[in-house]
Structure 1
Amino acid sequence: MLRQTYGFMREAARAQARWEFEASMNILSSRKRMIIILAVTLPLLLFTGYVLAGGQDMPSILGGKHAYSPAYYTPAIFGVSIAIGLCAGLITGCIGAGGGFIIAPALMSAGIKGILAVGTDLFHIFAKAIMGTVAHKKLGNVSVSLAIAFLVGSIGGVLGGGIINRAIYEFDPMLSDSFISFVYVILLGFLGIYAMTDFIRSYRRGEHGDAHGHGGKGEANTKKSLPAILQGSRIPPMITFDEDLTPGGKKIPAIYVALCGAFVGFVAAIMGVGGGFLTFPMFVYVLGVSSFTTVGTDILQIIFTAGFASITQYAIYGFIFYTLAMGMLLGSLVGIQIGALATKLVKGIYIRGFYAIAIMAGFVNRLFALPSKLVDLEYISMSKSTAAVITQVGNVTFFIVVGLFAIWVFSVFFRNISKLRAEA
């Protein structure tokens, strides 16, 4: 059961990566879109340079050092946001699995409050979806009834997740950071352990597959019976879909589609990850929807789920750092392109190993951050200096691992530029 769950989540990460890669390539291929991004980010970069030159911090209106302030902002943090987006993009493009799982932990390690990291990541995803999705190419595959039922559920899930996050923050900002860190510890711990086990097993057996982990015996073995069971139910109202692929189409109760949407929206609002992280495998492996129909519906739901969550649950309450979001978007556009090119030059088994190590680094980062937060909450007894050292070890380990991965990818890329040009 745990093995199948890991396979499901790995497919979710791949689906998110496919969407992020396509959206980024669409932005990079459009001069107008790039001009818009540069028009927004260039003044921020110039202002940041001006402030740095004067040795001053940003105006206090942008945040303070206290727990109830949104965040303590310095020009260095804007630079870090570009670096974080770059590394996330490298992971997405090179590994073929969504790099968003490192964004919230990385932002929190850089001094951003957890709830702000979640809201900012959601807005970054929304901005990428709006600018990078060429809707008219694929939205023709959408089953309208399927999309409506799913979005009704996702809106409910987003409301629930957003209300919980804000309620915890308003009760105690330190508890909010602890809660978000704990959620990431559970998710990354589960993914990291299985990813590392899968990598070691595949390496020992010589199952190198490709850069994204395909081709080995470690692929997910998701049961095919669940979609049949759900489609066999006759709970009204029923939704018909895949009419172009199956005579008479397939039918499924709308309640199951809405429940899947609610789960996706809830996870997106709590963790700040894109809804596409779960939508694709949930549609295919749980609801039994064809990939043809799923692609269009997935694109549609990312726009609405990320947009609704970021605007209604975080933006209007002041929990989005737009400067950081644009920095991450700028960095990820470059990172995804370089990472995708690097996959042509490196054996897949090594990239899979880096994937497992990167997830484990995120897990260690959030796990080591918990003692300091729990001490501040007076839930555990430990000296604050010891807790601070543990947190620092987690932060340093995380940034060293991700930094080494980035250096490795860049070195591979620049050493083989002539080879890549020849292939192009």
Structure 2
Amino acid sequence: MYVDNSATSPLNPQVLDAMIPYLKEEYGNASTLYFLGIKAKRALQKARHQVAQLINAEDDEIIFTSGGTESDNTAIKSIVLKQLKHKTPENPKNHIITTQIEHPAVLNTCKFLEEYGYEITYLPVDKDGLINLKQLENAINEQTILITIMHSNNEIGTIQPTKQIGEIAHKYNIPFHSDAVQSVGKIPVDVKEQNIDILSLSAHKINGPKGIGALYVKKGLTLPPLIHGGGQENSKRSGTENIPAIVGLGKAAEIAHENLEKTMKHNQQIRDALIEKITTQIPDSYINGSLKHRLPNNVHIRFSGIEGESLILKLAQKGVYAATGSACSTHNLQGSHVLAALQIKPALSHGSLRLSIGPENRLEDVDYIVDAIVETVEYLREISPLWDNKTNTYIGDKFEQPVINSTH
């Protein structure tokens, strides 16, 4: 019972079939002029078109990268490099706006830039994980060079109002970057309609291979490359192209595009069944994030009186594979920065569980998953010092520490 598709998703057999020829006989370098290279070039162009279609972009607006992390780094650091030419003591051009709940690929890039004199505004979010658009607009100043706000959150699944964010950014002639790694292939993502200038995506979240992603850059927005070399990707990202992986991303994007409506309906049906059954059967269980503005494949729920890591390990023994939060920060024992931003107390945030649904999950599996969670939570509460088994209530408030958001 694999319900950790937000960490990574299993490779679609059709994707593997599309990749295999380029791992064997179609091994040409796309930069060469003979037929073997020309065939690789055609495969590259086809994949670029498939990815562009998924987000309603133009083919030449797609740059292939090694994944979401590189795409995020490139988006932010390229904007910084571009503005260095216009930087003066009187006009430092050193301000970036983001949120407290971004993926580490964005947050740690921003923290890195702070060491070099850049000022970062980390917008707070409400209890559902949504930003306040008025606060966003008020944070803009003459030195703001970029707004980078994720499309949907990788932990709690909250979907941000990207269209309105983009409208505000364009009102002040500021580029808007959105990390859409969790959104693409799960919900409609239209870069034109949603006013997105730069967008990050990754193959392994949509049943494609690991180690390949893409960056959309709106036509007319020129960004200097971070990687220099032979001029591949129209000199925007040099290096011999990973044709098998790119073909895999293209095929995964094509399948996601063709099946988007079906995928959304499938995911939402299972998501809603999980939420209803878990919250009904387990007292003191609460949904983290917005119910209304939520990815259809995301269930993020907390249980009072238990510790999430023990919950994950016990569930794995029952054959249910899930997560506490972002797989990219699993070994961070400080707790989730996302839940801290929601002002959830540390002891409660540690008892959180993320279930993320994929195409291989079935509605008939829900009862087994829920039963495993119910049994595990009951067992952990029996041995927890934060749970009173006589009254069946949470008593951890007296042990609570204040919420500290480590983003600042």
Taking structure 2 as the reference length, what is the TM-score of the superposition?
0.28
> Using CA pairs below 8 Å that are at least 6 residues apart, which structure has the higher relative contact order?
1
| Structure with higher helix content | 1
Structure 1 or 2: more strand by fraction: 2
